[in-house]
């Protein structure tokens, strides 16, 4: 591993900058974390300014069956015996100088969390960032026909008023920690204030979830007062929901569960009271946590 895995191509200088973080892996169900930042990078025409070398942060040779170990390995493309692409994890910073905005999209590290965190924190501090926001998702008992609930965790009580008007609730949780929680726990040591916007996604749907991406993007742009046209996202969401409803018409049993889920959601019944749906989904290999 390099002594300093951070490579800075261009050093931005902000006065009161903001940074948005996305990580693939944990808390990126529905591609909400990475998908939201990818959309913002494209919408803002943000430019690449720095990167973190992946060497030493990831486990590639994970023991176990191929179905498990394949999740840890770099992706490659081979055509007629010739290697066309070899893609290790990427960890990239993007910048929008006009909006004093730094964006980061990477893969949650498996190893050396402290060093990876210091790379993020040091570049943020050198850039002039004061507030950091993580975007993520969790599987929950939310129907795809309803607006997803958005929850938040903060590093400091002073961050709560910034997020409170835009979220459903602040998080109550005990269990395995994500890398974003590690960052949150250490942000104050770097004079940074950090908060998260974490959207629920329907546990019965796999793949990219544009509705949750739209929900988080809408709230995040409001928090940061970013004037961005969300109409393209709305169009993608409407088309996705239409296709999904067409597919579900042929799934009678699931449709009945979704109706119950809608009623519970409208009555503000949270996950712990939906044991019948949880059991039905878990029998089919789908977990709600």
pLDDT reported for residue 225: 93
Locus of tokens 């544009």: 210
Cα(200)–Cα(268) distance, integer angstroms: 14
Q: Which residues of the chain have pLDDT under 50?
A: 271-274, 286-289
Closest CA to 221 of 128, 127, 133: 133
Instruction: Indicate yes or no: pTM above 0.85.
Output: yes
CATH class of 6-54+89-282: alpha beta
SS3 of residue 96 by DSSP: strand
pLDDT reported for residue 161: 95
Cα(171)–Cα(166) distance, integer angstroms: 14
**DSSP assignment letter at 272:** G
- What are the structure tokens assigned to 146, written together? 């309803």
Taking only the tens place, the pLDDT of each residue in 208-248 is: 999 999 999 999 999 999 989 999 999 999 998 888 888 77
Q: Are strands 169-170 and 150-152 parallel, antiparallel or unpaired?
A: parallel
What's 187-250 look like in SS3? HHHHCCEEEEEEEEEECCCCCCCHHHHHHHHHHHHHHCCCCCCCHHHHHHHHHHHHHHHHHHCC
pLDDT reported for residue 46: 97
Residues belonging to the chain: 289
Beta carbons within 8 Å of 92's beta carbon, 6+ residues apart: 48, 50, 51, 104, 105, 106
pLDDT reported for residue 231: 93
Cα radius of gyration (the chain): 20
Locus of tokens 């892996």: 25
pLDDT reported for residue 43: 94
pLDDT reported for residue 288: 42
Taking only the tens place, the pLDDT of each residue in 28-41 is: 999 999 999 999 99
SS3 of residue 276 by DSSP: helix
Beta bridge partner(s), residue 136: 198
* CB contact at 8 A, 5 and 186: no
SS3 of residue 286 by DSSP: coil
What's 37-80 look like in SS3? HHHHHHHHCCEEEEEECCCCCCCCCCCCCHHHHCCCCCEEEEEC
Please, which contacts does 59-63 make with residues 24 or more away whose CB atoms are closer than 8 Å?
59/110, 59/111
């Amino acid at each position: 591993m390099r002594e300093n895995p951070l490579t800075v191509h261009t050093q931005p200088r902000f006065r009161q900058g903001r940074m948005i973080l996305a990580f693939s892996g944990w808390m990126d169900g529905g591609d909400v974390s990475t998908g939201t930042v990818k959309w913002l990078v494209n919408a803002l025409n943000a430019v690449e300014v720095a990167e973190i070398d992946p060497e030493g942060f990831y486990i590639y040779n994970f023991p176990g069956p191929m179905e498990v170990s394949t999740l840890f390995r770099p992706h490659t493309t081979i055509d007629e015996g010739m290697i066309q692409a070899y893609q290790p994890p990427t960890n990239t910073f993007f910048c929008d100088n006009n909006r004093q905005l730094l964006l980061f999209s990477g893969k949650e590290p498996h190893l050396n969390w402290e060093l990876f965190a210091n790379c993020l924190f040091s570049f943020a501090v050198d850039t002039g960032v004061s507030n950091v926001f993580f975007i993520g998702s969790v599987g929950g008992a939310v129907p795809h026909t309803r607006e997803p609930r958005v929850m938040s965790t903060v590093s400091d009580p002073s961050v709560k008023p910034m997020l409170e008007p835009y979220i459903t609730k602040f998080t109550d949780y005990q269990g395995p920690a994500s890398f974003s929680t590690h960052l949150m726990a250490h942000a104050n040591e770097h004079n940074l204030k950090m908060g998260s916007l974490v959207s629920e996604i329907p546990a019965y749907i796999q793949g990219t979830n544009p509705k949750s991406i739209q929900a988080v993007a809408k709230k995040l742009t409001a928090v940061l007062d970013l004037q961005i046209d969300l109409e393209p996202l709305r169009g993608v969401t409407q088309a996705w929901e239409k296709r999904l409803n067409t597919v579900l018409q042929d799934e009678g049993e699931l449709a009945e569960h979704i109706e119950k889920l809608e009623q519970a959601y409208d009555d503000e019944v949270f996950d712990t009271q939906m044991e019948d749906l949880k059991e039905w989904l878990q029998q089919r290999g789908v977990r709600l946590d």
